[in-house]
Amino acid sequence: MYSRFVVLRVRPAGRETRKATAGTGLPVRWLLAEWPADQDEPVQFWLSNLPEATSLPALVRTAKLRWRIENDYREMKQTLGLAHFEGRTWPARHHHVTLVSVAHAFCTLQRLSRSPKETASA
């Protein structure tokens, strides 16, 4: 990662937040901002309810995990056929999603077991 990260402990504000937490006080949250070295200001922000003892690397890793999840979901839909289900029953849908998940796990394990030199093809 080539970005810098700024982290603060904040209390969310706003009328709706105050109404929802009336009498209990506003919760303290983490505000994480990604600030690339070549930018004049932060470019991405995350609000997190992770525990106060959470380290900065753990906050960054958790925030960046979203990209990996979205990438895996896109792979499951496009490559492995998650979006191609045309059945009508819950058991059939469950069976389809289970098989796609197993196929995704297999592909991921295969990808992780190879060395970087093996995956590069000429």
Residues 52, 56, 60, 65, Cα dihedral to 10° = -60
Domain membership of residue 17 (yes or no) is yes
Residue 17 has what pLDDT?
66
Residue 118 has what pLDDT?
62
50 and 89 in a single domain? The answer is no
Domain membership of residue 74 (yes or no) is no
- Whether 83 contacts 100, CB under 8 Å: no
Residue 120 has what pLDDT?
58
13 and 50 in a single domain? The answer is yes
Domain membership of residue 93 (yes or no) is yes
48 and 89 in a single domain? The answer is no
Domain membership of residue 19 (yes or no) is yes
Domain membership of residue 95 (yes or no) is yes
How many separate domains does the chain show? 2
Domain membership of residue 122 (yes or no) is no
Residue 23 has what pLDDT?
65
Phi, psi of 48 (to 5 degrees): -130, 150
Q: Give the sign of the dihedral formed by CA 39, CA 44, CA 47, CA 51.
A: negative
**Per-block mean pLDDT, blocks of 10 residues, the chain (122 long):** 84 73 77 91 92 92 90 93 92 95 94 74 54
- Domain containing residue 49: 1-65
pTM: 0.60
Residue 89 has what pLDDT?
95
Q: What is the DSSP letter of 89?
A: S
Q: How many CB atoms lie within 10 A of CB 63?
A: 20
59 and 3 in a single domain? The answer is yes
